[in-house]
Amino acid sequence: MSTTAKNILAVMRTGPYGNQTAKEALDAVLTAAAFELPLSLLFMDDGVFQLLPQQDTQGIGAKDLSATLPVLPMYDVERFYVEQSSLESRGINSAELILPVEVLDSEQVKVLFAESASILSF
């Protein structure tokens, strides 16, 4: 968990579908990345569902957001974290996620928040 003094932490707390929050969060992340702002993403709560592969969105008429996440490193967004308790409570194994993430316990999440200059919560 190495962050810079001006790091922006985007906290993804909502599931990928049901509202526009996850899509708007990705748009904000890509916008910040375009301005070369140092950025990290933390997935927690239902936000961990954004990291699952092969999301079938055909029945709900939504774009599969899981296709966008793997391209984030191309925009220099390369630090991805996930809260361990969020994975465990949803029965998700970090090995099945579409991004290489660092799994953090609750104390490590507190440190990440404290080290971040700005926090955007979605």
For 36-65, what is each residue's pLDDT tens digit? 888 999 999 999 999 988 766 555 555 667
Separation of alpha carbons 118 and 98, rounded Å: 26
Decide if pLDDT at 114 tops 90. Answer: yes
Confidence of residue 25 (pLDDT cuts 50, 70, 90): very high
- 39 contacts 8 by C-beta, under 8 angstroms: yes
Give the rounded percent of residues in the chain with a pLDDT score beyond 90.
Answer: 63
Separation of alpha carbons 65 and 46, rounded Å: 14
Separation of alpha carbons 92 and 97, rounded Å: 8
For residues 60-73, give the mean pLDDT. 76
- 80 contacts 100 by C-beta, under 8 angstroms: yes
Which residue, 93, 1, 89, 88, is CA-closest to 42? 1
Q: Which residues pair with 119 in a beta bridge?
A: 9
For 89-112, what is each residue's pLDDT tens digit? 999 999 999 999 999 999 999 999
Domains of the chain (ranges plus CATH)? Answer: 8-121 (3.40.1260.10)
Question: CA of 56: how far to CAs of 18, 41, 49, 80, 122, in Å?
Answer: 14, 23, 13, 23, 22
Prediction pTM value = 0.86
Q: In this predicted structure, what is the pLDDT of residue 4?
A: 46
